[in-house]
Amino acid sequence: MLLTITTTHQPATDLGYLLHKNPARLQSIDISAGQAHIFYPEASPARCTAALLLDIDPIALVRNHRGPAGEGFALEQYVNDRPYVASSFLSTAMSKAFNTAMNGTCKDRPELPDTLLPLEATVAVMPAASAEQLQKLFAPLGYAVETEAHLLDPTVPAWGNSRYFTLRLRHPALRLRDLLSHLYVLIPVLDRGDKHYWINEAEAEKLLHRGATWLPQHPEREFITRRYLRNLAQYVNPTLERLLEGEEALTDDVPPLTSEETATTGLDVAAPSASTTAPAREKQNLHDLRLDRVAETISQLGAKRVLDLGCGEGKLVRRLLKNPQIEHILALDVSWQELQRAQERLHVAEMPPRQRERLTLTQGSLLYHDPRLVGYDVAAVVEVIEHLDESRLAAFEQVVFARARPIAVLVTTPNADYNQRYEQLSAGEFRHADHRFEWTRAQFAEWVAGVAERHGYRARVDNLGPEDAVVGAPSQLAIFEQ
């Protein structure tokens, strides 16, 4: 992984003073995951280039637990792009190698740090969602942005481009420390593979500090902030996590599960990219609406004992706990991770005893008969069935409608008819990577009618969400009653 910084400021060799690194020497410093080498491939008065070359040690990365955790496919921990791409390791290396320059001090040439210089920077290579994303992030800061895409595999042209770019930035007049700050903040933002294992709370604040002068004016400030806050929240900073409570976007980044095949969990949030922030929020509203509606229906049904089947992180549970008529909630999820999140989000450990008695949060599966599910008034199955293979729905049906037999069952699922209203979805594509199917209103109605008939329930299907005259509402809710 390489970063070069070039200036044609006269004399160009001032760069050495600014960086506080002697152009005549190769300097090597130890960083947590390997070594950083600083040297000057050219150093003439007309043009001077400093290079920061990172030599990441992949074995040390594993041994020090600083690399990717290896969820999803376990070997990712051992074979990954970390040694070759610009990542938070580069940011750390920069702050270590160019500390004085980043702070804007220069003992020998005190005026230099504030001097606007013609600067060029090259990053080889920079991971990014697209060349446009690089433009969006760097152009507003005044750079001329040049990107060189790289094929994923030149022997398989059909695979197209990789997510790696050689990035060249040119700025006619910029303080060096601004260039460094921009890179310092934006590199980890761009690198989705980056988990910020290196960061602690103090450094998180430093990160915010580095962006203080330019971030508030940046048109993509929200995206930038979200991206690194999200990463931080997940691993380090509980304070920020609290700030983020209720941020739906968090669910798009749950690490994949223990299967060999990668899969994402979470709700109906589309795969994130720089441009999807707005739709994601719109969907968050839909999900809230859905949960409000389900909670309201449960209340109208006069339920005292409620099953939340597939409770996720406990958003419905939170609503149900507020309803004094509900005496007990059994909230079930198959994902241990989701249950941990629910524990935390609902502050179960700190709940007063009376409230805690009202809630049982436990792992369970809707494909196995479970005697604990018997004897409830209502079961809520919110956005769950579409995560099951269609061939497994028969087992689900037996478990819920034949064995558990609550007096009422509420089932919500996306309305596939509505998908054409989502611009970012191409035809036939699902709203979430883990959806095994999305049903049209007719398909859902048919399934609902069949289940109701086979198990002695009355059922109706309601629209859920703002209705469109042609394609209906984005989501649908079936209400089964015995």
Partner 1 sequence: MPLTTLKLPELSLVLLIGTSGSGKSTFARRLFKLTEIVSSDHCRGLVSDNENDQTATPDAFALLHYLVGVRLKRGLLTVVDATNVQPEARKSLIQLAREYHVLPAAIILDVPDYVAENRNRARAERQHLGRHVVPQQRQQLRRSLKFLKQEGFRHIYHLHNTEEIDAVQAIVRDPLYSNRKQDTGPFDIIGDVHGCYQELVQLLTTLGYTIETDATQDARDLGMRVTAPAGRRALFLGDLVDRGPDSPAVLRLVMHMVQEGLALCVPGNHDIKLLRHLHGKHVNEQHGFAETLAQLANESDTFKNQVRQFLDGLVSHYVLDGSKLVVAHAGMREEMQGRGSGAVRAFALYGETTGEIDEFGLPVRYNWAAEYRGRAMVVYGHTPVPAPEWLNNTIDIDTGCVFGGRLTALRYPERELVSVPAAQVYCEPVRPLDYLRQLAEAANQGQEANSQLTAQQQHDDVLDIRDVTGKQIIKTRLLPSVTIREENAVAALEVMSRFALNPKWLLYLPPTMSPSETSALPDMLEHPAEAFDYFRRQGVERVVCEEKHMGSRVVVVLARDEEAAQRRFGVIGEGPGRCYTRTGRNFFNDSTLEAAFLARLQEALTKSGFWEQFHTDWLCLDAELLPWSAKAQQLIKDQYAAVAAAATAALPEAAAVLTQASSRGLDGIETLLARTTARQTAAEQYADAYRRYCWPVESLADLRLAPFHLLATEGHTYFEKDHAWHMETLRAICLADEGLLRATPYRVVHLQDLADVEAATQWWLDLTASGGEGMVVKPYDFIPSGRNLVQPALKCRGREYLRIIYGPDYLLPGNLERLRERSVKAKRNLALREFTLGVEGLERFVAGQPLRAVHQCVFGVLALESEAVDPRL
Q: Where are the alpha helices (DSSP H) in 247-366?
A: 277-300, 315-321, 336-345, 353-357
Q: Which of 109, 209, 304, 369 binds partner 1 (CB under 8 A)?
A: 369
Closest-CA residue to 433 (of 441, 421, 425)? 425
Rounded CA separation 127/133 (Å): 10
* Closer to partner 1 by Cβ: residue 53 or 139: 53
Q: How far is the CB of 392 from partner 1 (least distance, A)?
A: 7
Q: Which of 395, 445, 449, 471 binds partner 1 (CB under 8 A)?
A: 395
Please, are residues 126 and 167 in contact by the beta-carbon 8 Å criterion?
yes
Q: Which of 31, 187, 385, 399 binds partner 1 (CB under 8 A)?
A: 399
Q: In the numeric block, which tokens belong to residue 208? A: 């915010």
Candidates 79-87, 97-105, 108-116, 179-187; binding stretch for partner 1 (CB under 8 A): 79-87
Q: How far is the CB of 321 from partner 1 (least distance, A)?
A: 25
Rounded CA separation 328/40 (Å): 69
Please count the residues of this chain forming the interface with partner 1, following the rule CB under 8 A: 86
Binders of partner 1 among residues 406 to 435 (CB under 8 A) are: 434
Is 259 an interacting residue with respect to partner 1 (CB under 8 A)? Answer: yes
Is 1 an interacting residue with respect to partner 1 (CB under 8 A)? Answer: yes
Is 124 an interacting residue with respect to partner 1 (CB under 8 A)? Answer: yes
Is 479 an interacting residue with respect to partner 1 (CB under 8 A)? Answer: no
Is 125 an interacting residue with respect to partner 1 (CB under 8 A)? Answer: yes
Binders of partner 1 among residues 83 to 102 (CB under 8 A) are: 83-85
Rounded CA separation 98/353 (Å): 54
Is 251 an interacting residue with respect to partner 1 (CB under 8 A)? Answer: no
Q: How far is the CB of 281 from partner 1 (least distance, A)?
A: 27
Rounded CA separation 270/273 (Å): 9
Q: Which of 215, 367, 407, 445 binds partner 1 (CB under 8 A)?
A: 367
CA-based end-to-end distance of the chain: 64
Binders of partner 1 among residues 304 to 343 (CB under 8 A) are: 334-336
* Closer to partner 1 by Cβ: residue 260 or 350: 260
Is 360 an interacting residue with respect to partner 1 (CB under 8 A)? Answer: no
Is 215 an interacting residue with respect to partner 1 (CB under 8 A)? Answer: no
Is 361 an interacting residue with respect to partner 1 (CB under 8 A)? Answer: no
Is 4 an interacting residue with respect to partner 1 (CB under 8 A)? Answer: yes
Is 447 an interacting residue with respect to partner 1 (CB under 8 A)? Answer: no
Residue 451: other Cβ atoms inside 10 A: 21
Closest-CA residue to 326 (of 380, 383, 371)? 380
* Closer to partner 1 by Cβ: residue 418 or 447: 447
Q: Which of 402, 420, 424, 467 binds partner 1 (CB under 8 A)?
A: 402
Is 458 an interacting residue with respect to partner 1 (CB under 8 A)? Answer: no
Closest-CA residue to 415 (of 465, 366, 355, 473)? 473
Is 220 an interacting residue with respect to partner 1 (CB under 8 A)? Answer: no
**Is the bond preceding residue 123 a cis peptide, omega within 30 degrees?**
no
For residue 8, give every residue at least 6 positions away whose Cβ sits within 8 Å of its Cβ, in sequence order, or none: 46, 47, 118
Residue keyed to tokens 């695979």: 159
Is 190 an interacting residue with respect to partner 1 (CB under 8 A)? Answer: no
Residue keyed to tokens 């508030």: 216
Residue 349: other Cβ atoms inside 10 A: 8
Is 482 an interacting residue with respect to partner 1 (CB under 8 A)? Answer: no
For residue 22, give every residue at least 6 positions away whose Cβ sits within 8 Å of its Cβ, in sequence order, or none: 16
Rounded CA separation 160/303 (Å): 54
Q: How far is the CB of 333 from partner 1 (least distance, A)?
A: 9
Is 158 an interacting residue with respect to partner 1 (CB under 8 A)? Answer: yes
Q: Which phi-psi region, left, alpha or beta, contains residue 130 (left: φ > 0; alpha: ψ -120 to 50)?
A: beta
